[in-house]
A and B are shown apart, each in its own frame.
Chain A
Amino acid sequence: MENKKSVDLVTSLGIKALTLFATVKDMFYLLMQILHWLFIGPFKGKAAKRDSIFDQMVFVGVKSIVIVFFIAVFTGFVLAMQSAYQLQQLGAVIYVTGLVAVSITRELGPVLTALVVAGRVGAAITAQLGSMKVSEQIESLETMAINPVRFLVVPRFLALLIMMPALAAIADLSGILGGFFIGVTNLNINPYLYIEMTKEFLALKDIMTGLLKSAVFGVIICLVACYKGLNTKGGAEGVGKATTESVVTSFVLIIVADAILTAVFYFGNM
């Protein structure tokens, strides 16, 4: 009996591993298809339509500005207050300026933006593609000789790739603004000094690595959301399940990718 149980455990682990492997393989294949339609398709007169790219950019980017702004500003508030609480004991409150600027641009700006976009846009993409899949719309595109990856995925990919760094830049600015607000009103730092100190501490590479990260997060969100959407099965319930999975998977992958990228930048001396 004992033996049988352990065999079952091994079997189920094996099945899980194989499923995971297949998922990763399929996502990689999806990425290859996207790259094909991005770089080879246009030379065969089969580019993604500019209108739909623009529509998606508005949806992904413009309509996320407000929420990204609020989240970053409040994170800036909290960061400034929490670090001031510690730094006061050392009499080094002025270092709040650098701490807020560097942690927002390197880390929190891109990551929080990615989580917001994964929740707002990633979920919407999965739900939309998923319901198109279960109501025969994806199949109908195929029968019209219209490639669903080119028609539906590529515009979303481009929109996320372009708009994620733009949103992260907005988050960077708003976060620093939040810190500035607390620094000037609550910590009695001279506004001019705050700006000068921020400039002093902040290096271009801090901003660049952050923006690079956010572009990678954009690719992750697109791949996960589109993959989950296009592989939806089983009616309305299936769409709900796919959407949840899409958001959870995106969150996990974003955090993991963040750790890996940070390690690369850190050990690569960037």
Chain B
Amino acid sequence: MSDLITVQNLTLQFRTDEGLITAVEDVSFRVRKGEVMGLVGESGSGKSVTAKALMHLNAKNAVYTPESKIILHTDEGDLDVLSLRKAADMKVVRGGAISMIFQEPMASFAPAISIGKQMVEQLMLHSDMTKKQARSHSIEMLDRVGISDPHKRVDQFAFELSGGMRQRAMIAMALSTNPKLLIADEPTTALDVTIQAQVIDLMHDLVKEFDMGIIFITHDLGVVAQTCDYVSVMYLGRLIEKGPVREVIRDPRHPYTQGLIDALPKLDELDKPLTPIPGDIPSPLERPKGCVFNTRCSKIVGDVCMNDLPRDVQVDPVHRVACHIYNEEGQA
């Protein structure tokens, strides 16, 4: 499988009145064609900021370090996303090579513009279709994601659709331009569990059909286990563990990932008390020195956790973890 996008040493800070706040630090990963990568973490872990960086969508006060590289591999060659300066040039990435769907389908449609008009606008920006062609393609896409009566729905507004229907329409819009990569930022969090499953199935089918990559952002490890091929776990802006999804979930190596999995309620052991990770994620203004997880970690090995950043070590052929428990060879 060929690479779609490569992120290298992505460090992103926000310039604020309190000074520079680090939101993402030294994150590297790649997504390949036909692959679903889960990006997991609590609120404030930097997962959404990372995803937005791929489309250069972060606020104007975002500062990228010179070492940060986001390379999009297209048929026409490699494109350095962060080198794009003008919004008009970013069109290639935004809605062209990459589409994004958001957590709140209601809020991500403009309320006073019909769904069809928003879809047609996007299609006309990214292709040389006429208005009429764009409209019939939009109807076709709505039909494809399982929206009944697409001829009628295309002229409706977001507030006239149900929650699940809206997210389907969002998916239809995101895929209509045939992007290489789909970023789904908690696409099912706002939906009912039953609808959630339908939407996940739909996304799964469409990825295969369109042969693209997906970055699936969520805090729900259950959804990750069902949906993703690979998973990357983020904590306070750092990528602390990554690997094939089954391996990471069956055999988590980082104390944080272990904590996340232990914190999940288990249907077969209902009497067992939940074991949450103690404490809260620190404010980005007070990033701990050393390992970012040292304020909550139950497996501190010594001063090294307080003073040194853990190296990213390989514990299995494709399973990497950043924790002082493991030595260079990946042994505990």
* A, B in one complex: no
